Amino acid sequence: METISIEATIQGLKNYLLNEKNWVQFGQNVFKVILILLVTAIAIRVGKSIIQKAFAVRQRSPLGHSERRQNTLLKLLQNVLTYVIYFSAIIAILTTFGIKVAGLLAGAGIVGLAVGFGAQSLVKDVITGFFIVFEDQFAVGDQVQIGTANGIVQEIGLRTTKVKSYTGELHIIPNGSILVVVNYSIYNSLALIDISVAPENDIPSMEKNIEEFLKELPNKYEELVKTPSYLGVQSFDASEIVVRFTAETIPTKQNSVARKIRRDLIEFLERKGIKIS
């Protein structure tokens, strides 16, 4: 009986493979799949381009939409568009091969109920991502600190947020795990600048020179919000006196401005004959 069954199976397989209609149908299905994939690729590219142009027009409107929020929504909508088109393509391919999509989706709904408790983290990620964008907690291009990740936000998706550090690492963070965010890009930043000078300098004369130097800086650095403030002597000992001043800058520019000011101040003090320790 087993020998007859095996022979019948082999014979049925031969008949199927040698049937010209089956190969014609297979070729048609392959062509349809290739066409669906081609249309999918074109639809994604065109859709993303349309969204980008729509946001470009919106940015030029007199309402003055926030650029950082615009970039965030642009990335998010492009991601959603990609997911929707890919899902539609999968449904179309399954239909091409005669798979009943309606029954499959119904079965998936039942399975979804069974694994619903295991998918709580996914739901949490999506909901948290929605509120991040809705509340404008941070946006694409912002400098943020999320846990141990410190860098520039590259993308805010439905499930994850991508932060690129200054040394090149890309941190991919599930939205549901984001508990505390430090956003450095919303308000102006403050550069705290110390410089050490020799104790034998004439302190009143040195302070007067430093104040004159600070008055010229807003004309030199557009990142400065206002004239830096001289605070005075921060500390001293037998070998040095540390003086401190602050400079308010536009968001995230405090470190680069502080480095430039230190360089210029050292050159300025040397020209004035003030000794630096």
Quote the pLDDT of residue 277: 79
Q: What confidence tens digit (pLDDT) does each residue in 87-111 have?
A: 888 888 888 877 776 665 555 554 4
Q: Which of 262, 102, 252 is nearest to 185 (CA)?
A: 252
* Domain spans of the chain, in order of start: 2-114, 120-183, 189-271
d(Cα 77, Cα 70) in Å, to the nearest integer? Answer: 11
User: Confidence band (pLDDT; 50, 70, 90) for 159?
Assistant: confident
Q: What confidence tens digit (pLDDT) does each residue in 103-135 have?
A: 655 555 544 544 455 556 777 887 888 888 777
* Residue 204: HSE in the Cβ half-sphere, 13 Å Cα cutoff: 0
- Determine whether domain 189-271 maps to CATH 3.30.70.100: yes
pTM for this one?
0.60
d(Cα 13, Cα 218) in Å, to the nearest integer? Answer: 84
d(Cα 21, Cα 90) in Å, to the nearest integer? Answer: 25
State the architecture of 2-114 in CATH terms: Orthogonal Bundle (1.10)
Does the fold of domain 189-271 match that of domain 120-183? no
Q: What confidence tens digit (pLDDT) does each residue in 221-253 have?
A: 999 999 999 998 998 888 889 999 999 999 989
Per the prediction, the chain carries an average pLDDT of 82
d(Cα 166, Cα 149) in Å, to the nearest integer? Answer: 10
Among 49-58, 153-162, 195-204, where is mean pLDDT lowest?
49-58
State the architecture of 120-183 in CATH terms: Roll (2.30)
Quote the pLDDT of residue 249: 93
